Structure 1
């Protein structure tokens, strides 16, 4: 479980850059509810990380902007009853967020126009519909 976090390919976040906090989880939990710290908060400082190059770091800072507090992103996990499973869930979510944030921008859309046949079919269908409606009208 402990160790570096593999985001994708060559992007690996060292364990030293991940901050963990544990607390009691809310909700039902039986006898151990008041004694186990199963809720997990995983923090990662995007601004000071060495795991991302300058281009990836600027891309991540731009895309994660609203979620960052002083350059730090925090993920909370409390859906499982065991701390280990919550740690795994938090790591998976952080890796997914970083993966999305550093993904290359999508390719530009090449504008296209409808083919001549498509335009003619559309106009023919409109003409047919117009004729049907015209024939339904009462004659004066």
Structure 2
């Protein structure tokens, strides 16, 4: 079972794990032992609240298929258990990031002080350039 918040949990039967052989260096261990984990989670058939489902399906993430299945591959650790834990943490992070609501940005106006400072700096810059001109005697 994966706990997302106080009242939202994903039961273990909705998570599908499969062990596969990991890629990359590692010698005999990598060649013989299936330590990498594929975690599959079907968003549409899950028991998540509707708000969670909508936000997840709206994400433009390469880990989410067209059918609405999240596929996470974990292979950085040497043991299957550690990779399984890592895949669960990555799933949890993905879901929690998807449900974050961005705060709406409000337009602000520059303060009078900042406007005055800007104009003063422009005037000063102009005076400096004026002093660089050729002097007529």
TM-score, shorter chain, exceeding 0.5:
yes
**Of 19-28 and 120-129, the range deviating more from structure 2:** 19-28
Q: Which residue of the other structure, out of 111, 125, 130, is the alignment partner of 1:134?
A: 130
Distance 1:93 1:65, change over 3 A: closer
Uncovered stretches (5+) of structure 2, i.e. residues with no partner: none
Q: Is the 8 A contact 1:8 1:99 kept in 2?
A: no
Over 4 Å off, 4+ runs? none
Q: Is the 8 A contact 2:36 2:73 kept in 1?
A: yes
Cα deviation code 1:66-104 (max 9, x no counterpart): 54211101000111111111111111101000111122x
Q: TM-score, normalised by structure 1?
A: 0.88
SS at match of 2:78: coil
What's the Cα RMSD here? 1.6
How many residues are paired up? 135
SS at match of 1:10: coil
**Of 20-29 and 77-86, the range deviating more from structure 2:** 20-29
Q: Which residue of the other structure, out of 40, 44, 48, is the alignment partner of 1:43?
A: 40
What is the deviation of 1:20?
0.6
Q: Is the 8 A contact 2:63 2:72 kept in 1?
A: no
SS at match of 2:103: coil
Separation in 2, partners of 1:54, 1:40: 28
Q: Is the 8 A contact 2:76 2:83 kept in 1?
A: yes
The aligned counterpart of 1:107 is: 103
Q: TM-score, normalised by structure 2?
A: 0.90
The 5 A counterparts of 1:11-22 are 11-22=8-19
SS at match of 2:82: helix
